[in-house]
A and B are shown apart, each in its own frame.
Chain A
Amino acid sequence: MAFLELQGIVKNFGRNTVVRGLSLSVEKGEFVSFLGGSGCGKTTTLRMIAGFEMPTEGSIRLDGADLSRVSPNKRNLGMVFQNYALFPNMTVARNIAFGLKIAGQKKAAIASRVEEMLELIHMGEYAERYPHQLSGGQQQRVALARALARKPAALLLDEPLSALDAKIRVRLRDDIRSIQRSLGITTIYVTHDQEEALSISDRVAVMRDGRIEQIGAPFEIYNAPGTSYVETFIGTLSVLSARVKDPATGTLLVAGQEIVAGRKLDAAVGEELRLSLRPEALSLDGRERNCLRGRVVNVKFLGSIVRVVAKVGDRELSMDAFNHPRLPPPAIGSEVDLHFAPEACMVSKADAASPASVPEEEDEKA
């Protein structure tokens, strides 16, 4: 049995069902992110784990024990909030010591633990400051130290970085991850920032409408999205319409041009399918097997990356290339050949959520 187990969780607010049968197993020491659009129930689920909301149905078990009758202050879970929620009347040191005092620890033990935590967040010289004398990033570090000081069974974070500016956000998320790794603490991290979720998690749970659409390692979520929602939610994606020419060889026609999807397709000849391509899977040089010709309609310079948007048939196809000072991007209006590998093709039914291409492992077994 996993360390943290959510089973068939349903949450109603009045007549409004916000979480609809959510189940999740988190192993000890694992870092799991809840990723999803606004209102999909991430915060509500996290608050049910913390005990601030009661599930309407379902059970939550932590380390084998049922939490449903345990009040929030007895769950021993560390919580970090979006707006820091530091106690404004206490110094940094006393904020961190708060939980330790309640736990009834000795003064000397508290002092050394506070010292240790300040060290961990690199804020030793700020011990006697008040929260209002700190920057947002520093406040969130203190909040993290405060939550971890008591050695909680698990750490829960609700969009801890979304109030900070971009640079601090990236630094602090790396810090959070390295602290989490060094302590080996089980962590649930709520965010609506996919880059954040993908970069720091062991597993990402993509949520939609009160359910987990897909859960898996970042690599898996990004490269093998299980549903069209996950596909479009994660990363940038160009969606083309493709007509099946030969399902056995995976041959498709896109705006009259022939490409191969590299695997057997579960579809009839002439059927209309969705072909999705990531911009980074395309290139201008001709080493890959597939090629689509299009007319450049837009070139966006994003710094290290140049995004070229080309029109293929009536759809737009985006391509990312690394910036190269000696290779200026193609001019708008010019014709380009966009090359990509058969494995880069994500093919799905035009309307349904399920992928139409047969997964490769099964292909091999067959």
Chain B
Amino acid sequence: MSNRRTRHGTGVRKAFSWLWMLIGLVYFFLPLAATFLFSLKGKKGVLSFVAYEHVFADPKFLKTFGFSLEMSILTVIVGLALIVPTAIWIHLKVPKAKPLIEFFTLLPFVIPPIILAFGLIRIYSRPPFAIVSSPLLLVAGYVIIAFPYIYKSVDAGLRAMDLRGLTEAAQSLGAGWLTLLFKVILPNLRTALLSALFLTFAIVIGELTLAVLLAWPAFGPYMALMGRNLAYEPAALAILSFGMTWGAIGLIQAVSRGRPGQGSNLGGTH
């Protein structure tokens, strides 16, 4: 009797969780589907990819996208080069500083980009740092915005491995710091580095505020401009950037599901 009731109970609970999942999916996919449908209506009466053709035909699309891609690559390089060794150092040598760094990672969320932009302009527009006209300043800003994402990914990766044990094992086998970094730590951080990389890409590609305020022809401002002036093309753009983000996430999943040994390809252990 009681057995039956509990089974009945789990059945109801199961139905409920399915219902919630359905609501979630609808909430998530309905706007997406609507946007996609809308983006196909560029030609009256028929569904067509004409809006996408327009997007690709616009030279500004490729130019701004190329620019943002370049910026994101630079941001990834600078960001990883700065943050990864720092995170490793903190984990190994000053674990007490972890809460402090965690606090720093919150700052880019608390301080709006507009303040960051004005701060950057104020400091870097006059000597000794007159580099406001260089795209490096934009990269510097992006590194700050991407910092929490990179740090959190690397931090999670470091926590997931036995950093101290591996370090000491490698040292007792004669490894110096460079061998340790490139042959032991980085190969085991592969998934973390990839997720840091793709998150940074996703953020920088669509970033609007810093690019506008520092006056760079980036992809974010381009999308905003299109959105104001056209109807179907922005929808097509939205679907495109959505597709790219999902592609990136899919790639993280696919790569991280590989065997751990494949990390050697990235770390260059041979």
- Chain A residues with CB under 8 Å of chain B are 50-52, 71-79, 81, 83, 85-91, 94, 98-99, 102-103, 130, 132, 143, 146-147, 150, 156
Is B234 on the interface with A (CB-CB < 8 A)?
A: no
Distance A72 CA – B165 CA, assembled complex (angstroms): 13
- Cross-chain contact B179 with A132 (CB below 8 angstroms): no
B172 within 8 A of A: yes
CB-CB < 8 A to A87: which residues of B?
166, 169-170, 184, 188
Q: Is the CB of B169 within 8 A of A52?
A: no
Closest to A50 in B: B172
Per-residue CB contact flags for chain B residues 1-41 toward chain A (1 = under 8 Å, else 0) read 00000000000000000000000000000000000000000
**Given A81-B165, A94-B269, A73:B264 Cβ within 8 A:** no
B188 touches A102 (CB 8 A): no
| Bound CA span A99–B184, Å | 12
Which of B168, B173, B263 has the most chain A CB atoms closer than 10 A to its own CB? B173
Question: Across the interface, do B179 and A79 meet the contact criterion of CB distance under 8 Å?
Answer: no
A150 touches B173 (CB 8 A): yes
CA distance A147 to B168 in the complex (A): 12
Q: Find chain B residues with CB under 8 A from A99 CB.
A: 173-174
Chain B residues with a Cβ under 8 A of chain A: 161-162, 165-166, 168-176, 179, 183-184, 187-188, 190, 259-261, 263-264, 267, 269
Across the interface, do B165 and A130 meet the contact criterion of CB distance under 8 Å?
no
Residues of B close to A94: CB separation below 8 A:
269
Question: Considering residues A75, A83, A88, A156, which has the most beta carbons from chain B within 10 angstroms of its beta carbon?
Answer: A88
A52/B168 contact (C-beta < 8 A), A76-B174, A89-B187, A102-B179 known: yes
A98 and B173 contact, Cβ closer than 8 Å, known pairs A88-B260, A90-B264: yes
Inter-chain contacts of B165 with A (CB < 8 A): 81, 83, 85
What is the bound-complex CA distance between A49 and B240, given in angstroms? 60
CB distance from B165 to the nearest CB of A (A): 4
Please state if A103 and B174 are interface contacts (CB–CB under 8 Å): yes
Given A52-B168, A79-B169, A81-B168, the answer on whether A89 and B261 have CB atoms closer than 8 Å is yes
- Are A73 and B169 in contact, CB atoms less than 8 angstroms apart? no
- The answer to whether A73 and B176 touch across the interface, beta carbons within 8 angstroms, is yes
| Alpha-carbon separation in the docked complex, A91 to B262 (Å) | 10
**Cβ contact within 8 Å between A85 and B169:** yes
Given contacts A87-B184, A91-B261, A130-B260, contact A79 B161 (CB under 8 A): no
Question: 19 interchain pairs (CB within 8 A)?
Answer: A50-B168, A51-B171, A52-B171, A71-B171, A72-B171, A72-B172, A73-B170, A73-B171, A77-B172, A79-B169, A85-B162, A85-B166, A87-B188, A89-B188, A89-B267, A89-B269, A90-B261, A90-B264, A99-B174
Q: How far is B162's CA from A143's CA once the two chains are assembled, in angstroms?
A: 15
Q: What distance in Å separates the Cβ of A40 from its nearest Cβ neighbour in chain B? A: 21
**Minimal beta-carbon separation of A99 from chain B (angstroms):** 4
Q: With A90-B264, A132-B260 given, is the CB distance from A81 to B188 under 8 Å?
A: no
**B residues less than 8 Å from A91 (CB atoms):** 261
- Neighbouring B residues of A50 by C-beta, 8 Å: 168, 172
**Minimum C-beta distance from B134 to chain A (A):** 39
Which residues from chain B contact A52 at a C-beta distance below 8 Å?
168, 171
Pairwise interchain contact A102-B261, C-beta atoms closer than 8 A: no
A130 to B260, alpha carbons, bound, how many Å? Answer: 8
Chain A residues within an 8 Å CB radius of B170 = 73, 87, 98
Residue contact B168 to A72, C-beta cutoff 8 Å: yes
| Shortest Cβ distance from B266 into A: residue | A89
Closest to A96 in B: B173
Which residues of B sit under 8 angstroms from A78, Cβ to Cβ? 172
Question: Would A88 and B168 count as touching, CB distance under 8 A?
Answer: no
Chain B residues positioned under 8 Å from A86 (CB to CB):
169
Residues of B within 8 A of A143 (CB): 169
Closest A-chain residue to B189, C-beta based? A89
Q: Nearest residue in B to A131 (C-beta to C-beta)?
A: B260
For B187, give the chain A residue with the smallest CB separation.
A89
**B174 to A, closest residue via Cβ:** A102
